[in-house]
Chains A and B, each alone.
Chain A
Amino acid sequence: MTLFPIEKTGAAERDAGDRLSIGGFVRRHPETVTAAMLVAICVAVAILNPDFLQPSSLIDIVRASVVTGLFALGVFVILAAGGIDVSFTAIAALTMYSITLLTTRYAPGLPMILVLVLAVGGGMLLGMFNGLLVYNFAVPAMIVTIGTQYLFRGILLAFVGTVWIMALPEQMLTFGRAPMVQFANSNGAVVTLPLYVLVLPAAAVLTWWILNRTLMGRAIFAMGGSARVAERLGYNLRTVHLFVFGFAGALAGLAGIIHVCSNRLANPFDLVGTEINVIAAVVLGGARITGGTGTVIGTLLGVLLVTVINNVLVMVGIPSTWQRFVVGTFILLAAAFFVVRQRRT
């Protein structure tokens, strides 16, 4: 990359100034913008409708973020590596339905841990298939994953089944119900924070650890920064491709099975169609769509922001049909903000 000479001058001074100013801090930590938007919307909603601060509605938000959050971590890792994935919902749908069907029909006594392992493993294989296609045929990830989204969903609906599974095996129901915290609400209703929500922070910590504390993590960001240079420096891009798509697939498989357990229902028509919501959350969390940037914390904040918008606008009397409008506005505001900041530098 050859740069315009203008950028050469004064970068050091600017940098020194940056470190002191709020603007510089925000430029280096775009997730602060996400946090600010989240706080702003929470404060506004809490003022308009204090019910929002009830534990039950907060718990609803946490529960609702688990599946989106797992998806988002996977998308973030792929985005950081300079790729994109729109097939993860199809991966989740295919694995969750197939495994639920398998368990109900052939192995009703299969321990929950094995169900989870199967979901993770199945999702990983499907994800690695994406990775192989993207790497070996050098087809843009967008095209490949649009293709595999149709392919995986087609396999699900054509060969696996189209019928809702309402009667889940006992261990899956237990997994979806097992409480971490349980208490009675002010109006007497029992509120439960299920145990499975812990999966999200666990996955987040794992993702953070991989990205920041292993060579693979640095290789992911290196590939996202410049794939050509990373290859020249000796990073094995095939491994990185297989890893990021496999990892996202594994998280998608896990998200799928959690989705089934918490809804007590396996619906083969579910999940697909929510990918834009997830990608929006990741981008709102400060990851650039062009790759190489972003943080796990930012991604989680983005997920919370999108979940809050999707869940609480109703509480302040904004019709649910306006959710998309609001999410769209926020994305454009955030994008405009980052673009303006980058131009100034």
Chain B
Amino acid sequence: MAEDSEANHCFLQLRQIHKRFGGVHALRGVDLALELGQAYHLLGENGCGKSTVIKVMSGAIAPTEGEIVLNGESFSALTPIQSLAAGIETVYQDLSLIPNLSVAENVALSEQLVHGEGRLARRLDRNQLRVTASTALASVGLPTTRTFLTTAVSDLPLAQRQLVAIARAIATKAKLVIMDEPTTSLTRREVENLIEVVARLRADNIAVLFVTHKLDECYRIGGHAIVFRDGECVAQGPLSSYSKADIAELMTGRKIDAHRYRAGKPAEEKLLAVQGLTAAPNFFDVEFSLRKGEILGITGLADSGRNELALAISGVRPADAGSIAVGGAAARIRHPSDSIRHGIGYVPENRLDEGLFLEKSILDNEIALVVARLANAWGVIDDGKGRDIAAGVARDMRLNTTDIDMPVGSLSGGNQQRVLIGRWLTIEPKILLLHGPTVGVDVGSKDTIYRAIQVLAERGIGLIVISDDLPELLQNCDRILVMNGGRFVADLDASRATEEDIYRAMLASTPETVQ
């Protein structure tokens, strides 16, 4: 690469950046050059150094070695304020919004903070705040009414929050907007809107760096691919010159194809029968059944009622009416403990907030559901039995470690997810409800999670997979039920259906899709 000639119009350059955390060599001599007005896609498996390199750019961490050239000026490390002042704005997955502050404050306070070089003993210019916020909000297509400006961000729907975060980047006159997995929790329609916003940013000569797992979206946005593996940048170039398979191979260092994982067949025996299940206003009169060893996919837009349905079956938020029968007998599910008693396991979408004890060991996490059973008459936990169970699960779920005393927080996202699924195996479930099983998980881990799902089905467990990831459903399920407006609108054979079929059912003439 002709670094010196590029340096003239390069906005940000990283030269031979190394970062060590204790004994871990997270970045091994990374060279990157980002130009204004371009879109970049930073791709790589979890733990490959993607987030570390972003943090180096945003000033959150200082590299151990190397040089950062920003606007032609050389730094050995950036501070957050230096990075912001130069126009590097990071939209983290959690969006970095302050929930209790208003939309206007979230969008436009940073501008005043950066302008004052971080000094806090300054008058707040409320007119300026309003003007800046309105301009920035208008450019991402959000309302600029007084009511909207003063709404607390915590009262906004997620997709709007994302746009608020981008509006903040615009308000601080960002030159480079880094987006960390921006589309993970958005519906297809919201993703469309985001893609439009990105095009507008590029037209304004702003560079955009995406960190993502969703290759389809990368191709739709276009631009450059930057592929990381093991702390090194293994490829950099126009996306169009790589195929999906190329990128997957570069990321993992091995070949992964998008084959159908589902090989088995469900048994005849009915495990679960749901009839007339209703929880107004989210879903109405839902009816379906699940057979032994069957993998049933459920999808729909975020507001289709699919999430509420999952919560109703798992007892987290019980339905108002209707019946659920497990193994032919009526089951009254009013609380998560009811569903556990009936052998229904629920792996929530948000593993960090709702499922795992990150600072606890794999062992403790795996046996969390069966602790009572491990206790002897004196209430003392049989440690040996617990270890056997946890080790068995670790093996079944193909965790990448055999050290079950390791804290779960130190595992990669994919392994954490496997710990969470594995925990439910300890109650020997009849039915397992997986909600977004591969959200935020890299390609390699997806593969092992899919294999694990198939193994569970082979053992006769009935699985319900609720997901946005259509290829995932097509590759893994027997049937796919599509929810729309709180009702099932399609029951598709996954071996024959296409993504287009599913989209059509998902989007079909609900009031919201009418433009």
Contacts and interface: CB of A to CB of B under 8 A. Distances in A.
Interface in A279-306: 292-293
A292 B100 contact: yes
Interface string B105-123: 1000110111010111111
Interface in B56-108: 58, 60, 80-81, 84, 90, 92-94, 96-101, 105
Contacts of A224: 100
Nearest to B317: A6
B80 A19 contact: no
B157 interface: yes
A293 B58 CA distance: 29
Nearest to B440: A2
B303 A15 contact: no
A3 B158 contact: yes
B302 A215 contact: no
A340 interface: no
Interface string B447-472: 00000000000000000000000000
A293 B350 contact: no
Contacts of A292: 98-100
A248 B234 CA distance: 54
A217 to B, nearest CB: 7
Contact of A6 (B94, B147, B307): B307
Interface in A185-238: 212-219, 221-222, 224-226, 229-236
Contacts of B349: 5
Contacts of A8: 157-159, 302-303
B60 A232 contact: yes
Interface residues of A, number: 40
B185 interface: yes
Contacts of A7: 157
Contacts of A216: 120-122
B204 to A, nearest CB: 22
Contacts of A231: 80
Interface string B158-174: 11100000000000000
B353 interface: yes
Contact of B157 (A2, A12, A214): A12
Contacts of B81: 234
Contacts of B92: 232
Sorting the interface of chain B by its residue count into under 10, 10 to 19, 20 to 34 or 35 or more gives: 35 or more
B84 A234 contact: yes
A182 interface: no
Contacts of B311: 6
A327 interface: no
B155 interface: yes
A5 B307 contact: yes
A318 to B, nearest CB: 38
Contacts of A235: 113, 118, 120
A240 interface: yes
Contact of B156 (A2, A11, A222): A11
A297 to B, nearest CB: 17
Given A1-B99, A236-B120, A293-B100, A218 B110 contact: no
B96 A236 contact: no
A234 B118 contact: yes
A2 B181 CA distance: 12
B412 to A, nearest CB: 18
Contacts of B350: 2, 4
B101 A222 contact: yes
A2 B307 contact: no
A218 B124 contact: yes
A235 B350 CA distance: 28
B16 to A, nearest CB: 26
A86 to B, nearest CB: 23
Contacts of A217: 124
A321 interface: no
Contacts of A9: 157, 282, 302-303
B252 interface: no
A317 B123 CA distance: 50
Contacts of B147: 15, 19
B294 interface: no
A5 B302 contact: yes
A239 interface: yes
B124 A213 contact: yes
A232 B114 CA distance: 12
A2 B350 CA distance: 7
Nearest to B98: A225
B308 interface: yes
A29 to B, nearest CB: 12
A88 interface: no
B129 to A, nearest CB: 9
Interface in B346-394: 349-350, 352-353
Interface in B464-482: none
B151 interface: yes
A136 B32 CA distance: 35
Given A9-B303, A229-B98, A15 B120 contact: no
A243 interface: yes
Interface in A124-183: none
Contacts of A221: 98, 100-101
A215 B121 CA distance: 7
Given A8-B302, A215-B113, A216-B121, A230 B98 contact: yes
B303 A215 contact: no
Contacts of A4: 307, 350
B353 A215 contact: no
A243 B307 contact: no
A19 B146 CA distance: 12
Given A12-B157, A214-B121, A235-B120, A222 B98 contact: yes
Contact of B110 (A15, A234, A293): A234
Contacts of A234: 80-81, 84, 110, 113-114, 118
Nearest to A290: B100
B289 to A, nearest CB: 25
Given A6-B308, A9-B303, A236-B118, A214 B97 contact: no
A78 to B, nearest CB: 16
Contacts of A212: 124
Interface in A1-56: 1-9, 11-12, 15, 19
Which of B60, B92, B98, B350 is the most central at the interface, judged by chain A CB atoms within 10 Å of its CB?
Answer: B98
A30 B112 CA distance: 29
Nearest to B307: A5
Contacts of B122: 214-216
Nearest to A345: B155
Contacts of A345: 155
A310 to B, nearest CB: 31
Nearest to A214: B124
B512 to A, nearest CB: 11
A292 B105 CA distance: 14
23 contacts: A5-B185, A6-B317, A8-B302, A8-B303, A9-B157, A12-B157, A12-B160, A213-B124, A213-B126, A215-B122, A216-B122, A218-B105, A219-B113, A219-B120, A222-B109, A225-B99, A229-B94, A232-B58, A232-B80, A233-B80, A233-B113, A234-B114, A236-B120
Given A5-B303, A225-B100, A293-B100, 9 more contacts: A1-B94, A15-B155, A214-B124, A221-B101, A222-B98, A225-B98, A232-B96, A235-B113, A239-B120
Nearest 9 pairs of A and B residues by beta carbon: A292-B100, A225-B100, A225-B98, A8-B157, A216-B120, A5-B307, A9-B303, A215-B122, A222-B98
Interface of B: 58, 60, 80-81, 84, 90, 92-94, 96-101, 105, 109-110, 112-114, 116, 118-124, 126, 147, 151, 155-160, 185, 282, 302-303, 307-308, 311, 317, 349-350, 352-353
